[in-house]
């Protein structure tokens, strides 16, 4: 997919699905702006892929003011931001009755509120240029109420992501801004390996019709489609990339 001349912000771009997206942006001739709390990891990606193609910025997504300040700096530095891909997030695996107020607040803050702030920080800029592509990484948990990896707090945050995606799509369509979301199921990232036992992974795989999990690149391929001009007449879509688990009608 061709990203020549495009500047693309990827939150959480230093690892996992976000890193696979960054690889695709650079392979397509674009410039990837990694927004990540782990600046060393982001710089490592820049060193590997080329400092003329990857631009790292450190952001604490739990801090809305910091997000807005850094995004303003990115726009000033890059001139135009064509695409925003919201990949950063955390997971909550506790049963509903064990979720504390602090955990609920943290999951909502990072998985939903921060995503809203990122979108709102670039939306006027995109409208001003009559061009923008926003792609949000959601989860099948949003449609299933959790039950695989993320549970109620995570499922609620991601359901909010789906609703926000549709709202931005509806309001932005006539202004040149498209917004879509991708809902993965089990994907082999560090977040999964750090929060899920081998036994749980096997149970999840058994529930997926394809009987396996995804590699990050398999999710990134769909994200990259929505980020590209190949999806020029697509907005407001919530696409499952889940090995057949959800099977939406």
Active-site hit among 57, 123, 131, 154? 154
pLDDT in tens, 42-88: 999 999 999 999 999 999 999 999 999 999 999 999 999 999 999 99
Domains and CATH numbers, the chain: 7-186+216-235 (3.40.50.720)
Helices (H), the chain: 16-27, 39-49, 64-78, 101-108, 114-129, 141-144, 152-172, 190-195, 198-207, 216-227
Task: Quote the pLDDT of residue 227.
Answer: 98
Q: Tell me the C-alpha distance between 176 and 12, whole Å.
A: 25
Task: Quote the pLDDT of residue 195.
Answer: 67
| Stretch 7-24: mean pLDDT | 97
- With contact defined as beta carbons under 8 Å apart, do 238 and 181 qualify? yes
Q: Tell me the C-alpha distance between 97 and 88, whole Å.
A: 26
Residues 6+ apart with CB under 8 A from 159: 142, 143
User: Is it the case that residue 148 has pLDDT exceeding 80?
Assistant: no
Task: Quote the pLDDT of residue 81.
Answer: 98
154 classed as catalytic? yes
| Stretch 169-175: mean pLDDT | 98
pLDDT in tens, 189-236: 877 777 677 888 888 889 888 998 889 999 999 999 999 999 999 999
Task: Quote the pLDDT of residue 249.
Answer: 57
């Amino acid at each position: 997919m061709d990203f020549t001349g495009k500047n693309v912000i990827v939150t959480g771009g230093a690892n996992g699905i976000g890193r696979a997206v960054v690889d695709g942006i650079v392979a397509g001739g674009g410039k990837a702006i990694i927004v990540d709390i782990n600046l060393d990891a982001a710089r490592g990606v820049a060193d590997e892929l080329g400092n003329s193609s990857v631009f790292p910025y450190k952001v604490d997504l739990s801090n809305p003011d910091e997000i807005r300040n850094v995004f303003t700096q990115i726009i000033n530095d890059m001139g135009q931001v064509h695409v925003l891909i919201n990949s950063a997030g955390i997971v909550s695996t506790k049963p509903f009755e064990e979720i504390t107020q602090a955990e609920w607040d943290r999951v909502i803050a990072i998985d939903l509120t921060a995503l809203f702030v990122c979108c709102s920080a670039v939306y006027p800029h995109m409208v001003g240029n009559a061009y923008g592509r926003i792609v949000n990484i959601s989860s099948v948990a949003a449609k299933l109420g959790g039950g695989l990896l993320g549970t109620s707090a995570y499922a609620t945050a991601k359901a909010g992501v789906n609703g926000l995606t549709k709202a931005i799509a509806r309001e932005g369509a006539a202004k040149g801004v498209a917004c879509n979301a991708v809902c993965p199921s089990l994907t082999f990232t560090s977040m999964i390996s750090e929060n899920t036992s081998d036994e749980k992974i096997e149970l999840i795989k058994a529930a997926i019709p394809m009987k396996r999990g995804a590699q990050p690149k398999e999710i990134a391929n769909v994200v990259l489609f929505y980020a590209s001009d190949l999806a020029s007449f697509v907005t407001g879509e919530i696409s499952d990339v889940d090995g057949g688990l959800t099977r939406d009608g």
